Amino acid sequence: MANTFSLILVLATLLTGIIWALDKFIWAPKRQLKIDAAAANAGDQVDAKTLEAIAPQPSWVESASSMFPVIALIMVFRSFIYEPFQIPSGSMMPTLLVGDFILVEKFAYGLRDPVFRHKLIETGEPERGDSVVFKYPPQPNVDYIKRVVGMPGDTIRYSSSKQLCIAPKGSATCTPVPLTNMTDSEFSQGMTRFVQLDEKLGDVNHQILVHPLKRDHTLKYYPRPGISEWVVPEGQYFMMGDNRDNSSDSRFWGFVPEENLVGKAVVIWISFELERSAESVLPSWIPTGVRFNRIGSIN
C-alpha cells in the first residue's frame, strides 16, 4: 500500500509538473501573443479583463498548475524528509501503542528514490537500539516497525529465561543486555499482567514487556525453548519488538536487509485511544480519546 501511494504521488507530481511547464513556457506565451494582438487592434478601447477573456487559461490547466507545487512539496517531504505512520499492533509496547501516529525520519539511513528505493545518497546507518520502520522481508509491500538488536556480524542469543545476549562482530564474548527495574506493567494478556523492565541497547534506554509465564501456548508468538542463536550476515540487521512475547520479528522470519530500511521512528505526533466497550456500535477505527501525554520523542 505504501509503495502504491508513493507511485501515485510521483505520477501525480510528474503529470501536474508537465502541465505546469507546458503552460508556463508554451501555452501561456501563445495566449499572451493573442492578447497583445487584440490589444493592438483595439487600442485603448478594451480593458485588461476583457482582453484576458480572448485567450483564457483552461480550467483544467489552471487546476493542475496550482496543484503542482503542493503535490511536489508533499512528495519531497514524504519521500526524503519525514513520513507519517500509524502503529497497527502492540508488538512494540510499551514504547508504541496501537493508535500512536509517528513520524519516521526518511533521511536517517540514506536518501532513496520513492518508487524503486535505490539509494541515492549515503547519510547514515542504523545504531543498536534504534526503532526502525522497514519493508517486511517476506512481504516487502508491508511496513513493519521493530527495534535494532543485532548489527551486521553480531551473534545474538535469546534464552527461554528471556535474557538477550549479544556478541558484537569480532568478539567471542556474549554480553547479557542489562535488564533492571522489574515491575508489573499496566498491560495484560487475558488474566495475566505483563512484566515491564528497563533495557539498555547501545546508548538507548527503553522499556520492554515480557510475559511472566515461560511457556504459555496461548501466546501469539514465542521462540523455541532453550537458547536460540543467530549470526547476523553482513548488510543485514536483527530486529525485535519491545513486547517480547507478542512480536513477529527476526526470531521467526529472519534478518532485515539494509535495502529494506525505510527510516528511523523519531516522534509520536498524535496518539488516539481506540479502546471501547463491547456494546459500542462505533467502528473500531473511530477514536474514543486523545492521549496527549504520549506526544513526544521515541526512545
Q: Give one DSSP letter per residue of 30-83, joined into a string.
A: HHHHHHHHHHHHHTTSS-HHHHHTTSPPPHHHHHHHHHHHHHHHHHHIIIIIEE
Could you give the CA distance from residue 240 to residue 232 in angstroms, rounded to a whole number? 13
Q: Are 195 and 184 in contact (CB under 8 A)?
A: yes
The catalytic residue among 6, 65, 79, 91 is: 91
Terminal Cα distance for the chain, rounded: 27
Q: Give me the amino acid identity at 42.
A: A
Is 135 one of the annotated active-site residues of the chain? no
Query: Among 299, 164, 163, 142, which residue's Cα sits nearest to residue 239?
Result: 164
The catalytic residue among 135, 146, 247, 250 is: 146
Q: Are 77 and 69 in contact (CB under 8 A)?
A: no
Strand partners, 239: 148
Is 220 one of the annotated active-site residues of the chain? no
Which residues have a catalytic role annotated? Answer: 91, 146
